[in-house]
Amino acid sequence: MWVEHKGDGSPVTKADVAADRSIRGFITAHFPGDDIASEELGGQLGAGPTWLVDPIDGTSCFVEGLAHWGPTVARVVPGRDGWVVDCAALYLPRVEEYYFVEHGTGWFGDDALPPLSSRQPPRSLYFPSRFHAYANIETRCKGRNVGGTAAHLALVARGAAEAAIVAPGWHPWDTAAGLALIDAVGGAAACLPGGATPDIVGRAGEPFVAGTPAAVASLLAPGIIRPRRREDPR
């Protein structure tokens, strides 16, 4: 497989670029007045509706032959208090799972996702792949990493874990669909530290946690997540 690395060290493949072109072509054909901002081919938010596109969220998982990666898109529109997600979707082709948000409802395939308050997710947390390099955490939950950021957020919305922690440095196309799914099922999201609400554009890149309101509140408590010191042996 042809793999190169971008300036930030993240991998990119021919499949990323080809998928980006394909998705852009579809959007341009069906929404000719919308702008597009994508990971591989660029672009930026316009004055009106804009599509955020990650042609393969979780490229490293794709390269390594893992399962939870795939294209994710979100159409954002200007609202009274900033940009809001109009609709969004994520497809995980290797496991044939499709998630989307439309008219404020989250869907997993043909089934509407029920509110998180009606379910008891397993005591699990999804972590970024290098979480251990920059933070320690006090939790009784099992820690897991199964794929890309968008997949982690979608799985939390489906009830497969209590919450997902998202590392600093993310881009709007990484998180817009997942955050919309979690919002649609009555979940919560908060920046780390401090607890400010993540903004997919204005506060892009700040680490955050998203999941059940109880899990988010517990992870924001003082001393639960601690930045690592260089001399920290753990």
pLDDT given for residue 231 in this prediction = 45
Domain ranges for the chain, please list them: 3-112, 116-227
pLDDT given for residue 42 in this prediction = 83
59, 93, 95, 165, 214 from 69: Cα distances, Å: 7, 8, 9, 17, 28
CA angle centred on 106, ends 64 and 111, rounded to 5°: 90
Q: Do domains 3-112 and 116-227 have the same CATH topology?
A: no
pLDDT given for residue 234 in this prediction = 38
Q: Which fold has domain 116-227?
A: D-Maltodextrin-Binding Protein; domain 2 (3.40.190)
> What is the CATH code of the structural domain delimited by 3-112?
3.30.540.10
53 within 8 A of 42, measured Cβ to Cβ? no
pLDDT given for residue 7 in this prediction = 61
pLDDT given for residue 232 in this prediction = 42
Greatest distance between any 2 Cα atoms in the chain? 55
pLDDT given for residue 79 in this prediction = 85
In tens digits, the chain (234 residues) has pLDDT values of: 556 666 666 777 899 999 999 999 999 999 999 999 998 888 888 889 999 999 999 989 998 889 999 999 999 999 887 889 999 999 999 999 999 999 999 999 999 999 999 988 999 999 998 888 888 898 888 999 999 999 999 999 999 999 999 988 899 999 999 999 999 999 999 998 888 888 877 666 889 999 999 999 999 999 898 887 654 443
